[in-house]
Amino acid sequence: MANDVYLQVAVDVPLRETFTYCCERPLPTGTRVAVPFGPRRACGIVTGPSAPGGLDPARIRPVLEIFDELPPLPVSFLEMVAFAAAYYHHPYGQTLFTALPTALRQPGNVRLPDRRHWWLTPAGRETPPPAAHRARRAVWQALADEACTLAALRPLAPQASAILKAWLAEGRVASGEPAALSFREGPVLALNGEQQTVLQALAGALAQGFSAWLLHGITGSGKTEVYLQLMARVLAAGQQVLVLIPEINLTPQLIERFAARFPDTPLVTLHSGLSDGERLAGWVDGWQGRAGIVIGTRLAVFTPLPRLGLIVVDEEHDTSFKQQEGLRYHARDLAVWRAHQAAVPVVLGSATPSLESLANVEAGRYRRLRLTQRAHGAARLPEVQLIDMRRKKRTEGLAEESVEALRTAQRAGQMSLVFINRRGYAPVLACTDCGWTSGCPHCSSKLVIHLPERRLRCHHCGWDAPVPGSCPDCGNVDIRPLGEGTQRLEAALTAMLPEARLLRIDRDTTRRKDDWDQLYQRIQAEEVDVLVGTQMLAKGHDFGSLGLVVVLNADSGLYSADFRATERLFALLNQVAGRAGRADTPGRVLIQTQWPDHPLYQALCRHDFDGYARTLAEERQAARFPPYCSQALLRADAPDLKDAMAFLDRLREALEPLAEGIEIVGPAPALMTRLAGRERAQLSFESCSRQRLQHFLSEAVPQVEAAARRASRSLRWSLDVDPQET
């Protein structure tokens, strides 16, 4: 095969390199192929030409098949993959295949959605089928009204495809690409002064290259309305918009709000709940420029968009933007990189921006815009009050005041929400009398109780001590884990408020696809007095008439082993509180707590995010935690904790000489040590310089890989750059 050319091909395997194959003709970079890989047939992506180098040409295997139903993947897409692979120190092939929709990861042809439109020719129009031929008549009638896709005709006649084929042969129909629709915008709201100022600043940045904006607007301040009016300008200019939102916010109501505003603009949604075919279709529509708007969860950040004009990341602080397995990427951070690559503006919106983004504002990398008022004329921020739970009588975790407030609200015909915080629950020991909590003597983390062993452990530095029999500060013997006893809350509420119509919303009651829709309709129809629920209820939903919010178990997020816990708790409670008093009813929020003096609650009562964020930033700076250092976690797990710890211990020793300007902390058992029969530990690398950390990781990873090859087969490891859960 003298005329063969050599190609580099990336395959979905946990190896750093790409592989050399031969082919009868050169293939452009980005071509999808099937190649032999060991004994199997694998999907590969051509990453460039290759030279056989030291390889024996006789042993280089040929490409088996070339898939050309789609053009080669665009260079800009492969560049983003290369960046993500380098930054997260993840194998290139695996990174590439993570970025592709599942359907394109298989070594086979894919079925593309048929987007052709069909219409009647003059001859077809003159010859309507007889009314007795129901199916043919229905298809003819639909086509007489407007050009249709096959997908639109199938519901009218299952045999639509055969009918069209016959008519095409007879010259009665024709088909082709749909005519480009002109841009149309539905009714807009008149912006208030603040919104106008923000829109002007953002609109001024369009078509001016890269810029990054933090839109910091309180709940209900009309951020979404600003996005919509900004998007209108981008879409009117014929460009595409990428909108990233947290998983939990991707509701039919939200999609409908975008779709209704831009009725002629094709919109696709991308998230992990789609079938492979649906996701492929949306991805390809974005890539081929057919979709004007792509709205999706974190995975949508990889969608190729040839005419990208704007990226919006809503609720930029949300943790669901970070992938917690495989390629551990942060979609917000990749979105900013991508905006830079495409030379377009990116808008990060939040009522409670992440400390990372605030630090980027401080450093001059992002510009901040603010919305400080609720957009809806009559809506006011709710009044937030604390209920001191120390030595207070309670029923199933509810204070008498809370029950009374629920009764009053029901009598006044207002809907209430009882919110149970389950976020970040890790049992920290606390004294019910003086408020002492189990802090680590060696670092600024909290010690977590491990009941089976009756030990307290630090998950940052590894400190370990027995559970004390009484409070070390005041001697009280009644010390217990924070955040218990909310299980039977619904039953208790039913007994205490016999007249109220209760609705529980959590993962269990919203498991099926349209469960949430039905529950939402009941809420909208005002068939509910008291909603009981977890985080699912906190986000983005506009319930209109929510008058009262009672928050239980917030304290468990107050003293957690994760240093980000308080930042998250503030964001969550702020969001929950934001559900109250949105329309014309002023809202009231009651937070039950054992620590009414805690700065977090005090700031929440004053609606003082800025003040609290400053306090947190100072704490992080003093402790040299992110965002005031760059961090990466090397995690290891094994059936037995001591094997994982020993692996990391050896690595620590081996990496120490490379670690100039890097602090290596640990190893320590992970927060949730045992998971699925395996025990986990972690080693933390920290540096004040992101670049230095990156450089260190490039040198460290090959050593980790070598050590893992020598270790027992049951040991697994992973690297998490910029971890969100520590």
Binding-site residues for Zn(2+), in ranges, read 431, 434, 440, 443, 458, 461, 471, 474
Neighbours of 378 (CB within 10 A): 11
Q: From the list Zn ion, ligand ATP, none, which binds 376 (C-beta under 5 to 8 Å, kind-based)?
A: ligand ATP
What track of x and - describes contact with Zn ion for positions 424 through 453 (by CB under 5 A)? ----------------x-xx-x--------
Pairing of strands 117-120, 32-37: unpaired
Among 47, 224, 373, 416, binds ligand ATP (CB under 6 A): 224
Least gap, CB of 197 to ligand ATP (angstroms): 12
578 binds ligand ATP (CB under 6 A): yes
Least gap, CB of 638 to Zn ion (angstroms): 23
Least gap, CB of 312 to ligand ATP (angstroms): 11
Residues between 23 and 52 with contacts to Zn ion, criterion CB under 5 A: none
Taking the C-alpha atoms of residue 376 and residue 369, their distance in angstroms, rounded to an integer, is 19
Among 225, 316, 318, 490, binds ligand ATP (CB under 6 A): 225
CB 148 within 8 A of CB 141: no
Least gap, CB of 184 to Zn ion (angstroms): 59
376 binds ligand ATP (CB under 6 A): yes
| DSSP single-letter state for residue 428 | B
Among 20, 195, 303, 592, binds ligand ATP (CB under 6 A): 195
Least gap, CB of 383 to ligand ATP (angstroms): 18
Residues between 346 and 375 with contacts to ligand ATP, criterion CB under 6 A: 351, 375
Among 138, 150, 152, 191, binds ligand ATP (CB under 6 A): 191
CB 212 within 8 A of CB 345: yes
Pick left, alpha or beta for residue 349 (phi over 0 → left; psi -120 to 50 → alpha; otherwise beta): beta
CB 428 within 8 A of CB 481: yes
- Give 123 or 672: the residue with its C-beta nearer to Zn ion: 672
Q: From the list ligand ATP, Zn ion, none, which binds 292 (C-beta under 5 to 8 Å, kind-based)?
A: none
| Ordered strands of the 5-11 beta sheet | 19-23, 5-11, 40-49, 32-37, 65-67
Mention every residue, 6+ apart, whose C-beta is less than 8 A from residue 148: 117, 118, 119, 142
Residue 462's closest CA among 629, 665, 639? 665
- Give 216 or 460: the residue with its C-beta nearer to Zn ion: 460
**Per residue in 624-660, is it b (16+ CB within 10 Å) or e — as a string?**
ebbbbbbbbbbbbbbeebebbbbbbeebbeebeeebe
> Helix (H, G, I), strand (E, B), or coil: what is residue 530?
strand
Q: From the list Zn ion, ligand ATP, none, which binds 616 (C-beta under 5 to 8 Å, kind-based)?
A: none
Taking the C-alpha atoms of residue 648 and residue 637, their distance in angstroms, rounded to an integer, is 10
Among 540, 557, 626, 669, binds ligand ATP (CB under 6 A): 540
CB 474 within 8 A of CB 468: no
Least gap, CB of 17 to ligand ATP (angstroms): 45
- Give 280 or 351: the residue with its C-beta nearer to ligand ATP: 351
216 binds ligand ATP (CB under 6 A): no
What DSSP letter does each residue of 470-525 carry, written as one string? S-TTT--S-EEESS---TTHHHHHHHH-TTS-EEEESTTTT-STTHHHHHHHHHHT
Q: From the list Zn ion, ligand ATP, none, which binds 458 (C-beta under 5 to 8 Å, kind-based)?
A: Zn ion
CB 294 within 8 A of CB 274: no
- Give 220 or 667: the residue with its C-beta nearer to ligand ATP: 220
Among 159, 175, 192, 615, binds ligand ATP (CB under 6 A): 192
In which element (H, E) is residue 196 found? helix 193-205
Single out the segment in contact with Zn ion by CB under 5 A; choices: 309-317, 343-351, 462-470, 531-539.
Answer: 462-470
Residues between 312 and 351 with contacts to ligand ATP, criterion CB under 6 A: 351
Taking the C-alpha atoms of residue 446 and residue 559, their distance in angstroms, rounded to an integer, is 7
197 binds ligand ATP (CB under 6 A): no
Least gap, CB of 324 to Zn ion (angstroms): 23
Q: What tokens does 432 get?
A: 């019910």
Taking the C-alpha atoms of residue 649 and residue 525, their distance in angstroms, rounded to an integer, is 60
- Give 199 or 426: the residue with its C-beta nearer to Zn ion: 426
217 binds ligand ATP (CB under 6 A): yes
Single out the segment in contact with Zn ion by CB under 5 A; choices: 147-155, 384-392, 458-466, 535-543.
Answer: 458-466
CA angle 504, 508, 513 (to 5 degrees): 105
Q: From the list Zn ion, ligand ATP, none, which binds 220 (C-beta under 5 to 8 Å, kind-based)?
A: ligand ATP
CB 144 within 8 A of CB 120: yes
Least gap, CB of 663 to Zn ion (angstroms): 14
458 binds Zn ion (CB under 5 A): yes
Q: From the list ligand ATP, Zn ion, none, which binds 539 (C-beta under 5 to 8 Å, kind-based)?
A: none
Taking the C-alpha atoms of residue 594 and residue 479, their distance in angstroms, rounded to an integer, is 13
CB 300 within 8 A of CB 271: yes
Footprint on this chain of Zn ion (rule: CB under 5 A): 440, 442-443, 445, 458, 460-461, 463
Footprint on this chain of ligand ATP (rule: CB under 6 A): 189-192, 195, 217, 219-225, 351, 375-376, 540, 542, 578
